[in-house]
Amino acid sequence: MIGEEDEKILDLDVEEELSKGPPPELEQRIQYAANSGRFVLLWRDPLILVYLGENGDYVIVDGVYCSCEGFARRVSRRGIGGCSHIYAARRIFGENSGGRYRVVEASLEEVVLIVWEVLTGGLTHTLRKILYLQDKIQGRESSSGDETSKDR
C-alpha cells in the first residue's frame, strides 16, 4: 500500500528537481567525472551511458537514474536527487555540453547484456571487451581514458 510519504515522492518532477543544479558538495566530483573520459555512450534514445568507475561500473539512463549507491542514498533520504554521475552526464550531453566520453557501436542485445552485468554484478566485462577490440581495430595499444576518449 502506498503511504502519504510515498505519494509525495511519486509527485516530484525529476527534471524540475535536477534542473535546480547539483548540491555544492558534489561539484568537485562532477568536474572529475565529466572530464575523466570514463563515460561510455551505449544508446542514444533513450540515452544510456555506463560510467567505468575505479571500484565498479554504473548505468545512467536519460540523466535521471544511476545505479550507484550515492543515487540510491539521495533518493531514499530526500525522495529525489541526483548523484555526481547524473550531473556529469547532464553536463556532457546537455545544452552547454562539455566533457569527455567514448562511443560504442553496440547492438540492442549487447546493450541489454552490458546493463544486466552492471546491475547484477557491478562490473561489465562485455563492454570492456568491446572497448578493447574497438581500440585494437583503431590501432591503439592502450585503453586509457586519455588516449581513447572523445573530447566533446
Sketch the domain layout of the chain as residue ranges: 4-151
Local structure of residue 149 (DSSP, 8 states): P
Q: Which residues on neighbouring strands pair with residue 101, listed in sequence order?
A: 39, 150
**pLDDT given for residue 143 in this prediction:** 44
**pLDDT given for residue 62 in this prediction:** 86
C-alpha cell at 45: 534514445
pTM: 0.78
Rounded to 10 degrees, the C-alpha dihedral 35/14/43/86 comes to: 20
* Residues 40-88: tens digit of each pLDDT: 999 999 999 999 998 999 999 988 899 999 888 877 776 566 889 999 9
How many alpha carbons fall within 13 Å on the CB side of residue 48? 19
Percent of the chain with pLDDT over 70: 77
- What are the Cα distances from residue 67, in Å, to 30, 37, 58, 129, 140? 16, 19, 5, 21, 30
Q: What one-letter code names the amino acid at 25? A: E
**Calpha distance 133→126 (Å, rounded):** 11
